[in-house]
Amino acid sequence: MLNIGWFSTGRGEGSRGLLKFVQERLIETGANARINFIFSNRERGEAEGSDEFFNLVDGYGIPLITHSSAKFRKEMGGRFSAHREEFDQQVMEKLAGSEADICVLAGYMLIVGGEMCRLYSLLNLHPALPDGPTGTWQEVVWELIRTRAAMTGAMVHLATEEVDRGPVVSYVTVPITGPGFDRHWESLREQDLDVIKKTEGEEYALFQAIRKEQYRREPSLLFETLRAVSQGEIGVVGGQVLDASGAPLSGSMPGGLCLDRQIAAAMLEDPAKTEG
């Protein structure tokens, strides 16, 4: 049984949706994996969004461990980044008795320090291909528009001190040309992108279309990655990603297991779960 540790600030609908999707798929498919604990850097009563997340966790009967980064920041004073390693050390002490073969950063709004990255195999979901843009999902989408990209995707990679650039575990590709896109790209030719960002912002039709295609695949990408690890199709050992034979994983992209086929099948099997 693959024991999964789940890290999330749990601040909004996206965090709840991702947990709900993965937990229910683990049960429905009889996967040889379980979420063994959930850690949040918020405590009960801090915010309405995280309290809703905690209610969901309670409903699943998954052990919840919390340590408030807001309270820690207030106690320490100054910039949180100057004390990140100390906060991580306190988190690791709280998690010392909780078993995890692999951990997932799912809406965890803190950067994880080096010691914690080395102690745990931390999977991070990033809304771009392995050689794509870094940054927040908003920054990624704007960069795709700026460069007139024809393809994007999402990846799961190991969290390291170099943000969004750890070893790639898996990825899915997403075409952003063709029906549903071409008319938006055509209209962009006659407009100034800086003006669009100031006037329409994230409501811009092309921005919305790109993000929707990424977002509807991301939960399946995370689940299929955990399934592949639980079945030994890929392994994560000592900061390396390995194939079934124990050799470093490589492919047409810069490393990682392509899950296009599995995710397309999952979307075809139950499209309602991947809409939204």
Domains of the chain: 2-274 (3.40.50.170)
Q: Which of 55-59, 247-251, 254-258 has the highest mean pLDDT?
A: 55-59
Q: Is the four-CA dihedral 91, 82, 119, 105 of positive or negative sign?
A: positive
Q: How many whole angstroms separate alpha carbon 204 and alpha carbon 182?
A: 14
Q: Are strands 64-66 and 33-40 parallel, antiparallel or unpaired?
A: parallel
pLDDT score at 267: 83
What contacts 130, CB < 8 A, 6 or more positions away? 155, 157, 168, 171, 253, 254, 255, 256
- Evaluate if residue 129 carries a pLDDT over 80: yes
- Evaluate if residue 276 carries a pLDDT over 60: no
- For the record, the structure tokens of 125 come out as 């979901």
Least confident piece of the model among 80-94, 134-148, 215-229, 233-247: 233-247
Least confident piece of the model among 158-167, 179-188, 232-241, 257-266: 158-167
- Evaluate if residue 250 carries a pLDDT over 80: no
* Average pLDDT score, the chain: 90
Q: ∠254-19-235 over CA atoms, to 5°?
A: 35
pTM of the model: 0.89
Amino acid symbol at 242: L
pLDDT score at 218: 93
Tens of pLDDT, residues 79-126: 888 898 999 999 999 999 899 999 999 989 898 888 898 889 999 999
- Evaluate if residue 132 carries a pLDDT over 50: yes
Q: Average pLDDT for residues 19-47, to the nearest whole number? A: 95
pLDDT score at 164: 56
pLDDT score at 272: 56
Helices in the chain by DSSP H: which ranges?
Answer: 13-29, 48-60, 69-76, 84-94, 114-119, 137-146, 182-188, 193-199, 205-215, 218-230, 260-269
Tens of pLDDT, residues 154-198: 999 998 876 656 889 999 999 999 999 999 999 998 899 999 999
pLDDT score at 273: 56
pLDDT band at 210 (very low <50, low <70, confident <90, very high): very high
Query: Could you give the percent of the chain with pLDDT greater than 70?
Result: 94
Amino acid symbol at 263: I
pLDDT score at 163: 65
CA nearest 128: which of 29, 233, 246, 253? 253
Q: How many whole angstroms separate alpha carbon 164 and alpha carbon 78?
A: 26
